[in-house]
Each structure stands twice: as C-alpha cells, then as structure tokens.
Amino acid sequence: MVHSLRKKKECEFMPEIKRVNAVFIYVVDMPLMRQFYEKTLGLGTPIVETDMWVEYEMEGANLALHQGDEKVLSKANPTYNTVKFSLETDDIAQFCSELMAKGVMFTFEPRKDFGSMLAEFKDPESNLIRLIQFI
C-alpha cells in the first residue's frame, strides 16, 4: 500500500525533494543505544561507523545515531528537540512478542487505529518508536 502526501510544488524553480535520506537521533550513551538498535531491534552492522555517528541502512530512509556532545545537547529543548519515528513491519504481533521477550516495555501494545495496527515503545534514552503494520 502506497501512501502519498505529495502536493503540487509551490515553487516551480525549486528542485523536488525526493525522499527522507536519513533520520539522526542524538544520543548520550552511544554503546547502550548501539546495543539496543543493533541487537534488540535487529538493525545489525552499521553501513557508516565514525567516532561521532553510526548509520544503519533501511529501506526508504537510513537511521543514524549521532553522539550528542555538550555543545549540541546544551542547546536542546525538550519541547522542540524530541523525536518519534515509525518503523513498518509485516507482522506486528510477532515483532512485539520478540521485543517483549527482550525486555522492551511498550507504551501501548498492538491495537487497530487509523486503518492499521500500531504499537509504541521507547528506546533506552526515551525516544518514542512506533511500529506500524498496514492492514
């Protein structure tokens, strides 16, 4: 199922944005967050690994964890610098069962909402992650 929110371009001379390339999450504890995303969520080995960030290849857009230094984090405002993203799966019940077995606590377990199945949980630094299965 393809969902399109594409509107007519406001500015004809401006190039079209093709897609989201990557989502970056600023983290405090890189080893803990890597463990969660690589092992618990199963993202595996990063395609980019530097001193400051790691990036995981995913269909559609990549996900990156970026080490938040004091300069970056001191400017963060919890009202504006929060993240929530949605990961699509074909079997939300099975995926949630596997995460629960790994100790992940859900803010809400799978439920039908907005014409799909949704569930939500937090990573170790309290970023919200939504799971979605289109039905």
Q: Point out which residues pair with 121 in neighbouring strands.
A: 106, 129
Contact 64, 25 (CB under 8 A): yes
Q: 59 and 97 in contact (C-beta within 8 Å)?
A: no
Q: What confidence tier does 20 reach under pLDDT thresholds 50, 70, 90?
A: confident
- Amino acid 2: pLDDT: 47
pLDDT of residue 74: 73
Residue 120 scores a pLDDT above 70:
yes
Question: What are the structural domains, with CATH classification, of the chain?
Answer: 19-80 (3.30.720.120), 83-135 (3.30.720.110)
* Per-residue pLDDT, 72: 67
56 contact partners, CB below 8 Å, separation of at least 6: 37, 38, 43, 44, 46, 47, 62, 63, 64
Give the mean pLDDT of 92-97.
95
Digit-coded pLDDT (tens) for 42-76: 999 999 999 999 999 999 899 999 998 777 677 66
